A and B are shown apart, each in its own frame.
Chain A
């Protein structure tokens, strides 16, 4: 089925470790984004991309890096994991046409100990 695929679904990291959360979509969506979801705080935008080679920061970008080398993939890198980055991470995509809505992946639950 077409959609947004995130891997892994669960991950436990030690403080200071690095890792990459993967996101891929097969809908040829130009716009892709990463959100984190924390209890009582809703979803907050980390980084987004409006097309291959173009990325920009969202509301909470510190501690995360992104790149967009292809239309399909938008990985999120944690450079040096901290307990404050314990969260559920969602990747979402959309057509560039602003009249379209978001399609979300199933999420990655990350725990940093």
Chain B
């Protein structure tokens, strides 16, 4: 069974700092990996989807990278803002089967 780990569980940074969130997975046979944002009491909002054939995807201040061979993905947030405060989750879709496997998330707080 695929295991997805996100470390640290919580992160607090001052506004304006660049930061990296980590996601690791145990089985490198993945089809794609998706990063989500979840605000308290809300649903999951998709941030970036990166296919197994890709090395990175960018959207605005966000950049996600994927290294399948090492079982790792990172989400880079540039010039962090208080509005970036949320929980960030990664999910991997295996090459076979229909289930996405989720990490437990990193809770990010950006201090003004």
Contact = CB atoms under 8 A, between A and B. Distances in A.
Contacts of A102: 34, 44, 46, 91, 100
A48 interface: yes
The B interface is mostly helix, strand or loop, or mixed, namely strand
Contact of B98 (A35, A42, A50, A100): A50
A90 B43 contact: yes
Given A99-B51, A105-B43, A106-B43, A40 B31 contact: no
Contact of B32 (A41, A59, A99, A106): A99
Interface residues of A, number: 26
B28 to A, nearest CB: 16
A20 B48 CA distance: 32
Interface in B91-107: 91, 93, 98-100, 102-105
A48 B93 CA distance: 14
A43 to B, nearest CB: 4
Nearest to B1: A59
Interface of A: 31, 33, 35, 40-43, 45, 48, 50, 56, 58-59, 90, 92, 98-107, 109
21 contacts: A31-B98, A40-B104, A42-B4, A42-B103, A42-B105, A45-B100, A50-B98, A58-B99, A59-B99, A92-B100, A98-B93, A99-B32, A101-B49, A102-B34, A102-B46, A104-B43, A104-B44, A104-B45, A105-B43, A106-B43, A109-B41
